Amino acid sequence: MRLQVARIGKPHGIRGEVTAQVLTDAPEERFVAGEVLHVTDGPVESLTIKNARWNKTILLLSFQEIADRNAAETLRGARLEIEVGEEPEDDSDEWYEHELQDLKVMHDGVEVGVVTALRTNPAQDLLVFENADGEEIYLPFVDEFVPEIDTEAGTLTITPPPGLLELNSEDSEQPEGESK
């Protein structure tokens, strides 16, 4: 099984370094010289870490296969994954993005979308799902709004704040004097 540990951002400098959004609790173990990472949504299948360093709060990575800024630009948006053994069976409330992707999002017994991502942020994780119109909806990933996750049934139940599902729909009413 593969576990996503980072998402590559923009190039940094001219020697092929890239910024990385860290998606692991142990970056000092995951990003060491010589470590081979699998690449998803990128131009190559794997990358070997040449160097990892912190610039304030941003992780900068360089790879043996990437020599310059132009090559680094082709990696933008790629996901970095590692191979891990099977996950331990436990009842914790911790979820990996790959466990949630493609789950049907249910609200009041009706399917309202499909999970496309989990955005980890310093303040709050956000569940990202796409509705039937193809619009992305962001929902804070907390028990209050996501009370039930059933991976065996392939569903995730939400109780969003009032108006969230209609927020960007053309049917939503705009207050007088405001335009779309």
Q: Three-state SS string across the chain, please?
A: CEEEEEEEEEEECCCCEEEEEECCCCHHHHCCCCCEEEEECCCCCEEEEEEEEEECCEEEEEECCCCCHHHHHCCCCCEEEEECCCCCCCCCCCCCHHHHCCCEEEECCEEEEEEEEEECCCCCCEEEEECCCCCEEEEECCCCCCCEEECCCCEEECCCCCCCCCCCCCCCCCCCCCCC
The matching CATH number, chosen from 2.40.30.60, 2.40.340.10, 3.40.50.2300, 3.40.50.10330, for 2-83 is: 2.40.30.60
The CATH code for residues 97-157 is 2.30.30.240
Domain(s) of CATH 2.30.30.240: residues in the chain: 97-157
pLDDT tens for the 180 residues of the chain, in order: 788 899 999 999 999 999 999 988 788 989 999 999 999 989 999 999 999 999 988 999 999 999 999 999 999 999 999 987 665 455 556 787 878 889 999 999 999 999 998 887 777 889 999 998 889 999 999 999 999 999 899 999 999 988 888 775 555 455 555 554
